[in-house]
Amino acid sequence: MRIVFMGTPEFAVNVLEALIHSPYEVVGVVTQPDKPVGRKQILTPPPVKVVAEKYNIPVFQPDKIKLDYEPILAWEPDLIVTCAYGQIIPKILLETPPYKAINVHASLLPKYRGGAPIHKAIIEGEEKTGITIMYMSEKMDEGDIIAQREIAIIEDDDVGSLHDKLSKLGAELLMDTLPLIFAKKITPIKQNPAEATYAYNIKPVDEIIRWDKSGKNVYNQIRGLSPFPGAYTILDGKRIKVYKASKQETLREGLPGEIIALMKDGVVVHTSDDTAIKLLEVQLEGKTRQSLKDILNGKHPFEVGKRFTLE
């Protein structure tokens, strides 16, 4: 079977690698254009492109796939497999391959349709998530479900750890599902639109820590944005990114965002309820990511009574 793979970020790499090492033939890879990265704006290829070139697989990087898709049809795929590609795919690509087009999505659809399902599941305090493989439709993540597999979200999971688990799970479920698709032993299940929720891409406003929420909500926000893009707060007019924290009982009364204790390994901050947040790893403005244990051993901006702000 001839497969065209469409994907872009690191999450899609495990899926592509599984396809490359499967009995199927990956005849081409479609990914987003190279983008400038970092302070020096170095033009950098997507992770999926790096893997494809490693195995000498042809790569196509259209700016707008709705207008530029003919090279994909020229590969004559039996099936198109997508995973975190990043553009809406035109109808002709969904319908032309004999086995159509399927998507590997990092949520238990119809929950968390969209581009940030891993972040959203943690931020919302979900106890489980998973992978859905579905037939693609013209609308975002609304296609019929082919297969699903669950995974637990543990208390100290963050986006980084859950990303890696789901990427591996996605590759495993795809390999288990493809033989059934090609044998035509699939009975797709339509999604219930009444149960649909959405996980749109994270915006800068979503990264600001809202200390006036409960300690549980603040904790979920921090780990639901770590290590990328990172939640942040403001102290003395300077931005501090927070990458790791823990929950604990409030040590004394205080206002939301107020520092109520300095401990050997962290800075304890009041929230809106009896659960305080201990900051454990942060990045001070102009510095690299560090543990609070190391920061508190030197000169630092943290003082009991100071208050984190939104701006």
Tell me whether the CATH fold assigned to 2-195 matches the one assigned to 204-295: no
Rg (CA), the chain: 22
Q: Where are the alpha helices (DSSP H) in 4-102?
A: 13-20, 47-54, 70-74, 91-95
Q: How far is CA 94 from CA 72, 102, 264, in A?
A: 11, 8, 57
Report the pLDDT averaged over residues 77-103.
96
Superfamily the domain 2-195 falls into: Formyl transferase, N-terminal domain (3.40.50.170)
CATH number of 204-295: 3.10.25.10
**Residue 170, token pair as written in the block:** 């996605």
Domain boundaries, the chain: 2-195, 204-295
Q: Work out the pLDDT band at 55, boundaries 50, 70, 90.
A: very high
50 neighbors 34 (Cβ within 8 angstroms): no
Q: CA-based angle 3:85:46, to the nearest 5?
A: 100
pLDDT tens digits along 129-178: 999 999 999 888 999 999 999 999 999 999 999 999 999 999 999 999 99
